[in-house]
Chain A
Amino acid sequence: MSFKKRGISRRSVMKTGLAGILATGVSPMMFSRGAWGQEFCNAPTGDTVTLGFNVPLTGAYADEGADELRAFELAVEHLNGEGDGGMIPTFSSDTLTGNGILGKRVEFVTGDTQTQSDAARDSARRMVERDGAVMISGGSSSGVAIAVQGLCQEMGVIFMAALTHSNDTTGKDKRRYGFRHFFNAYQTGVGLGPQLGAAYGPDRRAYHLTADYTWGWTTEESVMAATEAQGWETVETVRTPVGAGDFSQYITPVLNSGADVLILNHYGFDGINSLTQAVQFGLKDRQANGKDFKIVLPLVSDLMAAGAGDAMQEVYGTSNWYWSLQDEGSKAFTASFGAKYGQPPSQAAHTSYVQTLLYADAVERAGTFYPPEVIRALEDYEFDGLGNGPTLYRGSDHQCFKDVYVVQGKAEPSNQFDLLEVVNTASRDSVTYDPAIFGGELGPYDPGMC
């Protein structure tokens, strides 16, 4: 019996085999974008897509959380083609057209992280499992961001971190599914150190009060390294519980410690409370070691400046962004946010808005919601027009690299919102570092199934 007799030739075997291979294996990858449809967590099937915004509405960072939520709502509005479009027209990518994401109308659900890691994980899980969120954003508190980022890696849902500043978020705890647009403590140190050295001189003695969790630790470490590089001496580092409220018992020892600078590694309500209480203790009017006593708040936002009032005047810090920046993106976003909410956006609002747009853009460029493809679209992505100048989403650690702003509390604000002044800019090159210094592993691209 020959093959010829039964009508089977070598050629027909080859043809059939090739057709089979194409039909069963390769073809979805080659001919059908988005054909991973059913193979990942919460793949959108209808004409809408749901995003999950996980922000603190209670706890020490609640002010920031409320502002993040405002920005998320605005971003969704703009993605759906409502309002003035905000930063979409100034964004260097032209994929966003006001037609939702990949033609699907954007909807969102929200959760309260309570500024606590376990509550944040619970609400993120609820948004993924119950509400079908295909992406989670939010944060406020690096402890929360790291906890939620880990969960998102397990579930195969992309986490676009908002307000998180610890080195660990894109350092030792980095994850393939986590992305951070916000700057970090290391970059704060690089930006702030030279400014402090120039303004206050080389021979200073610093006392640190530090929020006792990952963000506080890494900020203390980075600022300490940066100030010691300026010739400063660190007198003492004291850890304080998050949400302590009354910091008087920690501030009292500063008075007789021999320090002439107090560095408050506190944020949100903690930053407001510790700064105002330090000023109540007369530290700003004090002389030590023959010099004027100074207070530094390494990470500062206009929400904190508003809460601290006069106490913030002339205090140095760093910021990821400030609403009075004069580039086209910042002006467009501030105008849009101000018109809707009657107040300018904070840095927390800005990064939340930008992260939402960046996710939507990455999905559009990937042509699919399939997370590994969206991740690849974000990795090593270079963009501009979103308020921070040319920015790189570095692929090796998912950290954004852009200019860092050194700010100072204005001595004479011209209006209730004019609280900070950008006094210096640390260039993107100067704040870029080798990802190896913080270690960590991103982990696999393979999507988990929630």
Chain B
Amino acid sequence: MDAILAQLLNGLDKGGAYALIALGLTLVFGTLGVVNFAHGALFMLGAFCAVAFRAFITMETVTIDETQLSPWGSPLEVRTPMAEQWFGEWGAVMVDYSVPISILVAIPVMLLIGIAMERGLIKHFYKRTHAEQILVTFGLAIVLQELVKTFFGPNPWPQPVPADFRGAADVGAWIGLQAGAVTYPLWRLVYLLFSVVVIGAVFAFLRFTTFGMVVRAGMADRETVGLLGINIDRRFTIMFGIAAVVAGLAGVMYTPLLPPNYHLGMDFLVLSFVVVVVGGMGSLPGAVAAGFLLGILQSFASMTQVKALIPGIDQIIIYLVAVIILLVMPRGLLGRRGVMEG
């Protein structure tokens, strides 16, 4: 029971990342009708917003202290992070909390990147076939990751968990089980909570604001909304920006869990496409549900007892489930009739 609960939590936190990426992917597909293969790159760019922010505030000044020697006998190099020079104690706090603080940087940056991507490239492909859209966005993803590789190199950039969130929470004790029976890393719980909040915010935005209502109307019938004199294209552009922000924030908060490298986007892209397809193309609740479902399944498939029954199942479970669901429910879990069927 304890083991299953721990594995369930693990699945939920993995699922949170899948759901966030798939949500943005579905938003773009639902509004603009574009299959955006560069969406994983947006996740990666978000992660590198955190990397760049930390790299900036931890830039060091190096002074040579001739009075002290390094362990190998050379004069000692004294390195001081600039943030601490500028802000004193607050600088040290900034360095410690660099990941959550970089959300403030990532929101405008990702919004701009999203809008620039849509206006600069993707809008020219609205009327082209899905195959052409996939090719051009996939090309864009490769360009973006190579750019990141050029500036940040090929290797991962570890980002620390803020000191207050290190270690594990006694989840078992919270829900009345024996103390220590189920512990789970605090930051992973933060990530799960964060993904639930962001998903809730996106749904609330679409559900309870006039902007969201117009967007939903546009998703249902773009032409009619246009004929009513509403500039639906502008709203869809903003939605693209919002989708980029959602992917970017998912990337920022994921950095302490998995040190990002330039290839991070591609690693997640394939998975999130499977999530979208399983959830049903164009269905926002479907994307979220499938994200969590596949995360949980992947986690359970890694359990020793399961692997003993079917060796290697942890590596293929997601694709196996996708195949089965598509055979049984060709439109995915919550897919609508007519989407990508004509």
Is the CB of B207 closer than 8 A to any CB of chain A? no
Stretch at the interface among B84-92, B238-246, B298-306: B298-306
Q: Is the beta-carbon distance between B71 and A338 smaller than 8 angstroms?
A: yes
CB of B184, distance to nearest CB on chain A (Å): 7
A interface footprint on B251-270 (CB within 8 Å = 1, 0 otherwise) = 00000011100000001000
A236 to B305, CA, bound (A): 10
Q: Is the beta-carbon distance between B77 and A253 smaller than 8 angstroms?
A: no
The closest CB in chain A to the CB of B256 belongs to: A280
Q: Is the beta-carbon distance between B258 and A273 smaller than 8 angstroms?
A: yes
B-side contacts of A339, CB under 8 Å:
72-74
Is the CB of A9 closer than 8 A to any CB of chain B? no
Q: Is the beta-carbon distance between B185 and A280 smaller than 8 angstroms?
A: yes
A57 to B155, CA, bound (A): 8
Q: Say whether, besides A249-B298, A256-B3, A418-B71, A63 and B188 are in contact (CB < 8 Å).
A: no
B-side contacts of A285, CB under 8 Å:
167-168
Q: Which of A238, A272, A281 contacts B168 (CB 8 A)?
A: A281
A342 to B73, CA, bound (A): 11
CB of A416, distance to nearest CB on chain B (Å): 9
Q: Is the beta-carbon distance between A280 and B302 smaller than 8 angstroms?
A: no
Is the CB of B315 closer than 8 A to any CB of chain A? yes
A-side contacts of B3, CB under 8 Å:
252-253, 255-257
Is the CB of B307 closer than 8 A to any CB of chain A? yes
B-side contacts of A28, CB under 8 Å:
none
Q: Is the beta-carbon distance between B161 and A280 smaller than 8 angstroms?
A: yes
* Number of A residues, CB within 8 Å of B: 43
Q: Which of A63, A255, A335 contacts B182 (CB 8 A)?
A: A255
Q: Is the beta-carbon distance between A255 and B304 smaller than 8 angstroms?
A: no
Q: Say whether, besides A280-B166, A287-B180, A252 and B10 are in contact (CB < 8 Å).
A: yes
Q: Is the beta-carbon distance between A246 and B71 smaller than 8 angstroms?
A: no
A62 to B72, CA, bound (A): 24
A-side contacts of B180, CB under 8 Å:
286-287
Q: Is the beta-carbon distance between B72 and A249 smaller than 8 angstroms?
A: no
CB of B328, distance to nearest CB on chain A (Å): 26
B-side contacts of A249, CB under 8 Å:
7, 10, 14, 298-299, 302, 314
The closest CB in chain A to the CB of B167 belongs to: A282
Q: Which of B2, B14, B188, B315 contacts A280 (CB 8 A)?
A: B188
Is the CB of A248 closer than 8 A to any CB of chain B? yes
Q: Is the beta-carbon distance between A282 and B183 smaller than 8 angstroms?
A: yes
Q: Which of A62, A248, A418 contacts B10 (CB 8 A)?
A: A248
Q: Is the beta-carbon distance between B167 and A344 smaller than 8 angstroms?
A: no
A230 to B187, CA, bound (A): 37
CB of A324, distance to nearest CB on chain B (Å): 7
The closest CB in chain A to the CB of B254 belongs to: A246
Is the CB of A337 closer than 8 A to any CB of chain B? yes
A275-316 CB contacts (< 8 Å) to partner B = 276-277, 279-282, 285-287, 307, 309
Q: Is the beta-carbon distance between A63 and B155 smaller than 8 angstroms?
A: yes
CB of B314, distance to nearest CB on chain A (Å): 7
CB of A37, distance to nearest CB on chain B (Å): 41
Interface centre among A273, A280, A324 (most CB of B within 10 A): A280
Q: Is the beta-carbon distance between B307 and A238 smaller than 8 angstroms?
A: yes
B-side contacts of A335, CB under 8 Å:
72-74
The closest CB in chain A to the CB of B17 belongs to: A246
A-side contacts of B212, CB under 8 Å:
none
Is the CB of B139 closer than 8 A to any CB of chain A? no
Is the CB of B156 closer than 8 A to any CB of chain A? yes
A309 to B160, CA, bound (A): 10
Q: Is the beta-carbon distance between A253 and B258 smaller than 8 angstroms?
A: no
Q: Is the beta-carbon distance between A417 and B155 smaller than 8 angstroms?
A: no
Q: Is the beta-carbon distance between B71 and A417 smaller than 8 angstroms?
A: yes
Interface centre among A58, A277, A282, A339 (most CB of B within 10 A): A282
Residues of A with Cβ closer than 8 Å to B? Answer: 57-58, 62-63, 236, 238, 241, 245-246, 248-250, 252-253, 255-257, 269, 272-273, 276-277, 279-282, 285-287, 307, 309, 323-324, 334-335, 337-339, 342, 344, 415, 417-418
Would you give 20 A-B contacts (Cβ < 8 Å), ordered by A? A58-B155, A245-B259, A246-B257, A248-B10, A248-B188, A249-B10, A250-B302, A252-B10, A252-B302, A253-B6, A253-B7, A253-B302, A253-B303, A255-B3, A256-B181, A269-B155, A280-B186, A281-B183, A282-B168, A307-B158
